[in-house]
Structure 1
Amino acid sequence: MSAYLVLASIGVLLGLLIHGRLSPAVLFSCWAVGYVILGVVDEQAMLGSFSNPALITLLVLMLVSLALERSPLLERVSDVLLRGREWRASLRLMGVTAGLSAFLNNTAVVGSLLGVISRQRHIPASRLLIPLSFASILGGITTLVGTSTNLVVNSFVVDAGLPALGMFQFAGVGIPVALLCLIALLFSRRWLPLNPLQDKDSSQAYFLEARLVPGSPLVGASIEQNRLRSLDGLFLLEIVRNDRLISPVSPEEVLEEDDILVFTGEVEKVQALQQFSGLQLFGNGADRLLASNLVEVVVSNESELAHSTLQEVDFRTMFNAGVVGIRRGQRRLTGQLGKIPLKVGDSLLLAVGPDFMSHRNLDRNFHLLSDSLQRPRLSARQSLFAFSGFALVILFSALGLVPLLNGLLMLLAALLLGRILTLGELRRRFPFELMMIIGSALTVAKALESSGAAALVADGMRALFDDFGVVGAFVGVYVITLLLTETVTNNAAAALAFPIGLSTAQGFGVDPMPFIMAVAFGASACFMVPFGYQTHLMVYSPGRYRVVDYLKVGFPVSLIYSAGVLVLVPLFFPF
């Protein structure tokens, strides 16, 4: 397979990643297998990619984080953080989030604080959640373990035969850039929407659906006669009749059997629909379950529900819950509830049964927002053990006393022996998708190198930036990575950009480290759109944001971030 064909196939891969219909794990896996079948790389090279020490380190770190994210520590300090004037509360929240995210998985940090911030009554959540997500990214760029992106880049570095990146090798650039961006964020947050807990728009937050069953007394009467237009906190948005959409709905519209009535409304007002005989809420058994509990959840980045419709999954069996409503930021959803593909970050309103919390797949699929049901938490003694053990692992690794992987493996064994973690929990939450993305991406990178495609890219970069020298090429690699991470996911961006950066450095005959850092920092530079980073998607619906909210706040942060990286990386990592 020629180098040009490999480059063309990478272009197709990028196009499919941008389209977003197929997950990065599926796409990278298919490309890796295809290259093996076509003989671009051999089987041993592919198997070697999945046994990469840096990849194993990342997977073990994710498993250890399962114990840390169950600690009640973050929730206990949240009330203290959010007291006082808004700008002070924001500053405290961002500082603590960035500090924790430097060592803990930033997805776990945001997930732990998400429900607390959404429920508190001090400051509107819309003024806090985007700063929370941005701060978790900025804290993550300061250390090797702060974000999965740095560990992904480290896996490529090790695979290329270069020395592994150090624990605090990112700090010289990362800390000044993070501080500058946090200051910028403190000022740019004024452009965030002010969405109070209860306002005139909150009545249209959730997208609800109910079917008119045969024999209902509502059949044959108009909307006005059935009093369906004067519901407190609910608004009849449209009617789906025989795959035909009726919108807007006239007060004189006469209801027919099997009509699907689509409402928007508040969480607290859903029970108002129970007063209408023959009006069945969407979700098998939802009408019966409404009597027990209503719970709000956010679809997590690990969820198996993403990109599936509710008609395609047996939700009732999986969770003993019925989906009553869906919310996606401030977007007005339309059509039938069961036919809407779910996305990471969607908020679901669930009517849950008594054994809802006993289902073992909740943590993988959801972040809980409601405070009526709480996940099992670590005791104070268990929290102290888990955090102390993790701190020792980081310290010994930084001092060069114990390799990071060895320390994490010992800590994982201790957590299992202490029954803080169980094998069942590790099995349920194993980051299989991340493993497939990185292992397959390493294989794709080897295909680029072995086919000569990487050399072609290096020649192109050298020709393009010949008048600007190596500094111009360095800026070019960073900009390419930034554009990729704003378009696709951060880990996919790192996977696609790393071979370009490394081959460009080799083409200019300079130290590859500045280009490696350009890829690492560029892959974390996702501030302007919510779709490239998992923490942005986690806060999208709870904050009732629009895409433009990320752009308004994120654009100045992205400019300062990029300027800081492009100035500081050559100073700390000379060419």
Structure 2
Amino acid sequence: MLYSQVALFIVLTIMLVFLVKYQEKTVLVFSITMLICYLLGWYSKDDLIKNASNSGLATLVFLMLIAVALAKTSILQKLKRLLFGKNERKTLIRIIGISAISSAILNNTAVSAVLINAIKSTKLYFPSRLLLPMSFATIMGGTLTLIGTSTNLIVNSMYISEGHEGFNFFTFTPIGLVVALLGCLVLYFTSLFLPKIKSDNTKDKGYFIEVELQAGSKLEDLSVSGAGIRHLDGLTLKTIIRKDGKRIAQIRATTVLKSEDKLIFVGDISKISILSQIKDLTLHAMSKGFDNVELVEVIVKETSPLRGKSIKAINFPRNFYATVVGIKKAENSLESEINDVKVKAGDMLILATRKSTSNNKKFGKNFYLIDEDVELHNILSGWREKLTVIGFILMVGYAVITGESLFNTSFLLLALLLITGCLSLSEIRNSLPIKIWMIVTSSLCIASSMENTGLAKVIVNFSADYLQNLEPYVIFAGIFILTMLLTELITNNAAVAIMFPVASNLAQGVGIDSFPIIIGIAFAASASFLTPYGYQTNLMVFNATSYRWRDFIVVGVPVSIVYIATCILLIPIVYPFN
């Protein structure tokens, strides 16, 4: 048994290292760990079936699919019309309020995708003073309800798997409301320290655009200065990739152009027509036969199966009837030609496509469309919209009043939405949270392995022997901060999946109720205000404007301090340890 405990500890340590190193491969890392544990006999087939099909996990799936239907209503579109007030400060209050409230019931990345375009396009105020507060507000708004963020649902499903009653819809609300109010108050003042960048200086900047120098061109053998293409209006030649693959990153005035060079420009995508007017330069899109079409701007979804694949491997012309004109990445660098660039969640793409094809289902599965002309194509209307909204309100109200499990009410509402056409089978298939289901199932199987090998008991005994004299408050604060730090290193869902079994066993060893600690884990996993990469909405606004890391620190540190202090002080009061 001792050997199994040591071996499992080593496996889990390696898993954590790989989660930190390969954040894009979270599901794969968890799945391989689950498989190793099964092959080594640390949990049984019955454990696997039980963990993969518990009612908490089913509730998670039902609620996330219902959220898809809610996102199809015109709620956000109507709220978007209320964004702008008489001055910047009143506008900020509106944006923060709308973002937080919307994120309580809708996916916060979907909320951000809809609001980003309206905010960054405004000529009235500085978008840079509004976008980052919007992102932080959606994060805090997600803590208001059970379905506000996937981490809340994951914690709920894992809590149910231990034999407890699940959370109700408003379990998180007392703490979340105070956290959101105080956090948004801090945002109101710290936003004054954000840079004043006009919309003309934020919109469409930082895109990488590829053109090719045609063979036999008159520009061949000229220097970039002599050809007059080193600095264009709004565009700068950043990189040259030779026909043999040689990459020239340091462009000098004397750098000579060669036949079939691929030229990578960076700058304002709206100036792309300048490149198309230069004779013998062929845009990447035109080389694929996609001239004379419209350009749409999209953001790669965090759930897209395209993540980690190159532009060439994705084959946009075949799969989306489109081609990539420009790409904008958070790291603001491009190491290869566009075809070889690997797509990440949060990347912004400019696609040359036909309007009819930009409305297809594949787009909805992989991208947030932030182009004004195409964002309304999938909106519910009439009685279907009313049915979705009223049905959701009744589901929540019935569960709260009667204490009925959300499993039953969410299942009935989902079935009703499917029967009435508010959701289609293809939408359900495309929106199934398979990755979250795999992470939770893997985590539960790992927890079973810890139980069966005795590693869980080791943690319980350790806490009983060495932590017994510590105040429960100290243990709670330690787990909260550890979860928060882990969230900055790996994904928030992975942090919850790892910390839940550890926290549960620690609480058991010390002899206190695990509930407040579990609630703390959920809030800690949503506390990502310090970097652009810690949370999807942060990455989206980072790409959408000209923010620097310093801006996240200036605004994020005060918000984080208030968030942490409020949670650590308030959670044990609302949900005592005994």
Deviation at 1:78, TM superposition (A): 1.7
In structure 2, give the amino acid aligned to 1:356: T
Q: Is the 8 A contact 1:29 1:437 kept in 2?
A: yes
Please give the alpha-carbon distance, in whole angstroms, between the structure 1 residues aligned to 2:126 and 2:287.
30
What's the offset of the Cα at 1:123? 2.8
Shift of 1:171: 2.3
Which residue does 2:405 correspond to in 1? Answer: 403
1:524 equivalent among 508, 523, 526: 526
Match of 2:258 in 1: 256
Corresponding residue for residue 194 of structure 1:
196
**Distance in 2 between residues matched to 1:383 and 1:123, nearest whole Å:** 33
Residues 409-558 of structure 1 aligned to structure 2 (within 5 Å): 409-461=411-463, 465=467, 468-558=470-560
In structure 1, C-alpha distance between the alignment counterparts of 2:453 and 2:440, rounded to whole Å: 20
For 1:151, the aligned partner's letter is: L
* Distance across 2 between alignment mates of 1:555 and 1:127: 17
- 1:544 to 1:442, Cα distance in 2 relative to 1, 3 A: farther
1:401-421 Cα shifts (integer Å, max 9, x gaps): 643122222222222222222
- The one-letter code of the counterpart of 2:539 is L
Deviation of 1:41 after TM superposition, in Å, equals: 0.7
Q: Specify the code of the residue in structure 1 equivalent to 2:294.
A: N
2:199 aligns to what SS in structure 1? coil
- The answer to whether 1:223 aligns with 2:224 is yes
Cα offsets for 1:130-179 (capped at 9, x unmatched)? 22222122122222222211111111111111222222222232222221
Q: How far off its partner does 1:467 sit?
A: 5.5
Deviations 1:491-548 (A, max 9, x none): 1111101111111111111111122122122112122123232222333311333333
CA RMSD of aligned residues (A): 2.2
CA distance in structure 2 between the aligned counterparts of 1:77 and 1:380, rounded to whole angstroms: 18
Q: TM-score, normalised by structure 1?
A: 0.94
Which residue of the partner structure matches residue 213 of structure 1?
A: 214
Letter in 1 for 2:119: I
SS in 2 for 1:355: helix
Change (3 A) 1:133 1:462: farther
Instruction: Verify: 1:53 aligned to 2:51, yes or no.
Output: no
State the shift of 1:383 in Å: 2.3
Q: 2:26 aligns with which of 20, 24, 27?
A: 24
Which residue pairs with 1:313 in the alignment? Answer: 314
Alpha carbons of structure 1 residues 20 and 193: separation in structure 2 relative to 1, 3 Å? farther
* Aligned match of 2:326: 325
TM superposition score normalised by structure 2: 0.93
Report if the CA contact (8 A) 2:129-2:194 is conserved. Answer: yes
Q: Counterpart in 1 of 2:106?
A: 104
Q: CA deviation at 1:22?
A: 4.5
After TM superposition, give the deviation of residue 202 of structure 1 in Å: 6.5
- What is the identity, as a one-letter code, of the residue corresponding to 2:52? F
Q: CA deviation at 1:347?
A: 0.8
Distance 1:306 1:487, change over 3 A: same
In the other structure, the counterpart of 2:84 is: 82
**One-letter amino acid of the counterpart of residue 454, structure 1:** A
Taking only the aligned residue pairs, the percentage that are identical comes to: 34
CA deviations over 1:359-395 (Å, ceiling 9, x no partner): 3211121111222333332224432221111111111
The 3-state SS of whatever aligns with 2:325 is: strand
Partner in structure 2 of residue 386 of structure 1? 388
C-alpha distance in structure 1 between counterparts of 2:532 and 2:451, whole Å: 32
Partner of 2:140: 138
* 91-100 or 39-48, larger mean C-alpha shift: 91-100
CA pair 464-278 structure 1, distance change in 2 beyond 3 A: farther
Report how many residues are paired: 573
Preserved CA contact (<8 Å) 2:114 2:370: no
Deviation at 1:128, TM superposition (A): 2.1
Following the alignment from structure 2 to structure 1, what is the Cα–Cα distance between the partners of residues 538 and 205?
22
Which amino acid is 2:109 matched to? T
Letter in 2 for 1:265: G
User: Contact conserved, 1:75 with 1:116, CA < 8 A, in 2?
Assistant: no
Q: Structure 1 357/158 Cα, relative in aligned 2: closer, same or farther at 3 Å?
A: same
Maintained 8 Å contact 1:118/1:369:
no
1:461–1:504: 8 Å Cα contact kept in structure 2? yes
Equivalent-residue separation in structure 2 for 1:417 and 1:473 (angstroms): 48
Give the C-alpha shift of residue 557 in structure 1.
Answer: 1.0
Task: Assess if the C-alpha contact under 8 Å between 1:462 and 1:508 holds in 2.
Answer: yes
Partner of 2:7: 5
Cα separation, 2, equivalents of 1:256 and 1:326: 24
Give per-residue Cα distances to partners, 1:11-39, cap 9 Å, x unaligned.
11111111126421111111111111110
Q: Please give the residue correspondences for 1:238-317 in structure 2 after superposition, counting only pairs within 5 Å.
A: 238-241=239-242, 242-283=244-285, 285=286, 288-317=289-318
Partner SS state of residue 132, structure 2: helix
Counterpart Cα distance in 1 of 2:193 and 2:449 = 45
In the alignment, the residues of structure 2 paired with residue 464 and residue 327 of structure 1 have an alpha-carbon distance, to the nearest angstrom, of 51
CA distance in 1, matches of 2:489, 2:233: 41
Q: Distance in 2 between matches of 1:64 and 1:251?
A: 57
Task: Return the alpha-carbon distance in structure 2 between the equivalents of residues 308 and 459 of structure 1.
Answer: 46
Partners of 1:228 and 1:454 in 2: CA distance: 65
Letter in 1 for 2:230: R
Aligned to 1:366: 367
2:154 counterpart SS class:
helix
1:164 corresponds to? 166
Instruction: Give the counterpart letter for 1:109 in structure 2.
Output: V
1:332-372, CA deviations, whole angstroms, 9 ceiling, x for partnerless residues?
A: 43432233322111111111134322432111211112223
Greater mean alpha carbon deviation, residues 47-56 or residues 536-545: 536-545
State the distance in 2 between where 1:122 and 1:450 align.
Answer: 62
Task: Answer whether contact 1:280 1:287 (CA < 8 A) is retained.
Answer: no
Q: How much does 1:481 deviate?
A: 0.8
* Preserved CA contact (<8 Å) 1:202 1:265: no
Q: Distance in 2 between matches of 1:104 and 1:358?
A: 21
The CA deviation string for residues 183-237 of structure 1, in whole angstroms up to 9 with x for no partner, is 11111222333332113x7685111112223233332333234331353222112
Give distance in 1, aligned partners of 2:540 and 2:77.
Answer: 17
Q: Take 1:570 and 1:309, find their aligned partners in 2: how far apart are those partners?
A: 47
CA contact (8 A) 2:290 2:353 kept: yes
Q: Distance in 2 between matches of 1:481 and 1:19?
A: 17
> Separation in 2 of the partners of 1:152 and 1:564?
22
Most deviating of 204-213 and 177-186: 204-213
CA distance in 1, matches of 2:402, 2:540: 36
1: CA distance, partners of 2:176 / 2:542:
26
Q: Which amino acid aligns with 2:497?
A: A
State the one-letter code of the partner of 1:296.
E
Sort the Cα spacing of 1:118 and 1:444 in 2 relative to 1 into closer, same or farther, 3 A.
farther
CA distance in 2, matches of 1:73, 1:520: 27
How far the C-alpha of 1:564 sits from its partner, in A, is 0.9
